[in-house]
Amino acid sequence: MKVTVVGAGNVGATCADVLATREIANEIVLVDIKEGFAEGKALDIWQKAPIIGYDSRTVGVTGDYARTADSDVVVITSGLPRKPGMSRDDLISTNAGIVKTVTEQVVKYSPNAIIIVVSNPLDVMTYQAHLTSGLPREKVFGMAGILDTARYRAFLAEALNVSPKDIQAVLMGGHGDTMVPLPRYTTVGGIPVTELIGKEELDAIVQRTAVGGGELVKLMGTSAWYAPGAAAAQMVEAIVRDQRRVFPVCIELQGEYGINGVYLGAPVILGRNGIEKVIELQLNDEEKALLETSRGHVKEVMDALDNMSKASA
């Protein structure tokens, strides 16, 4: 199996490192536009192999997509972080251009690859990659739900003083402030979380999860990379090993939850063919209202991208 990770920055390099350490693919190719950057990261990961004990080979290239040919899965992490003074539209325009160019190269050399988008703003970058690739939605989707859910589970484990392994949860909607928490579907060792923690404390954890990325930016001055990189690698593993894991991922909804043509996080079965099935939960009125708010927010950003594309046409 061959996996390509586009973007050798913190998130991409972490993803490649987890893939190699867990021996998820025979070959992992790192690609970056900065001369020697991907080569150095890949070499560093490969030199760790004798220490940790793994066989996966990591290779780095500068802009040479021919080296990525026939990849089974491609993870796109390329893009710029939002900088001081940069508007949302500036970020969308810049990163959409990067994701478009990368996706064109990916499809050219690996037309059968499954594409996982990690670039931000996540929901609209998944939209861009899907448009550009022309592939079915089952083969182009975004990583956000696993990351948001992991943060939620980590905070709950801390509050309850239990192992995060025993916490299962589902979050839906857009990545960020309008994510939709589903405490009804959150359990600790099979026990509903609402039996173990009060509503006020649970609400505070949900809110902390919604702004989880911002909390890390304030602490470090830059965005997260360990958890996002590992989350993308977990998605790759589910595909490569045909695990049929149930994960929340960003996908174009086509009638599910009464929503059409908007890219939102929803629970799916992830396996060898990409998204094997979209799971449609029976949401209550409050959850439906939150999902509609999230839908409206993501649609606004999608419309902003559409308007930019028309203006530049």
Contact between 52 and 17 under an 8 Å Cβ cutoff? The reply is: no
Q: What is the pLDDT of residues 11-37, one digit of tens each?
A: 999 999 999 999 999 999 999 999 999
Is 161 within any annotated ligand binding site? no
pLDDT band at 163 (very low <50, low <70, confident <90, very high): very high
Round to whole Å and give the CA distance between 76 and 126.
10
Q: Is the pLDDT of residue 113 over 90?
A: yes
Is 213 within any annotated ligand binding site? no
Q: Residue 46: phi, psi to the nearest 5?
A: -65, -35
Is 260 within any annotated ligand binding site? no
- Identify the pLDDT of residue 85: 64
Q: What is the pLDDT of residues 188-208, one digit of tens each?
A: 999 999 999 999 999 999 999
Domain 2-143 has CATH 3.60.10.10: no
Residue percentage of the chain with pLDDT more than 70: 97
- Identify the pLDDT of residue 104: 98
Ranges assigned E (strand) in 155-216? 167-168, 171-172, 180-181, 187-188, 191-192
Contact between 102 and 78 under an 8 Å Cβ cutoff? The reply is: yes
- pTM to 2 decimal places: 0.96
Contact between 29 and 4 under an 8 Å Cβ cutoff? The reply is: yes
- Identify the pLDDT of residue 66: 98
Q: Do β-strands 245-254 and 73-76 pair in parallel, antiparallel, or remain unpaired?
A: unpaired
Round to whole Å and give the CA distance between 105 and 203.
43
Is 7 within any annotated ligand binding site? yes
Overall fold of domain 145-304: L-2-Hydroxyisocaproate Dehydrogenase; Chain A, domain 2 (3.90.110)
Domains 2-143 and 145-304 share a fold: no
Active site residue ranges: 175
| Domain chopping of the chain, boundaries | 2-143, 145-304
Is 88 within any annotated ligand binding site? yes
Q: What is the mean pLDDT of residues 283-295?
A: 96
